[in-house]
Amino acid sequence: MSSEVRTDQRGRVTIPKEVRDRYGEKFRLVELDSGIKLVPIPDDPLEELQAAASDELREATLEELEEAAREEAREQAGENVR
């Protein structure tokens, strides 16, 4: 799905309902060399990450999990983050 959105006078963007229904209400704005990307944030990011993780990652500290999540977001974006 691809759609065009614009900012309003206050700089806000309205995300279409179909997209919010599919990905949720909370997103992280990632600035890339070629533009921006919205990455959905799960209701419980830590639980989501642990559920998808190996035993080694399940036993990791919060700091280690946060770094792993940042690296995964960079990989999913397929570009270098500024």
pLDDT attached to residue 75 = 86
- How many other CB atoms are there within 10 angstroms of residue 40's CB atom? 14
Is 46's pLDDT higher than 90? no
> What does the DSSP 8-state code read for residue 10?
T
- How many other CB atoms are there within 10 angstroms of residue 36's CB atom? 9
Give the whole-angstrom CA distance, residue 69 versus residue 57. Answer: 11
pLDDT attached to residue 21 = 94
Give the whole-angstrom CA distance, residue 32 versus residue 4. Answer: 19
Is 16's pLDDT higher than 80? yes
Q: Sorting pLDDT into bands at 50, 70 and 90, what band is 78?
A: confident
Is 80's pLDDT higher than 70? no
Nearest one of 20, 43, 44, 30 to 75, comparing CA atoms:
30
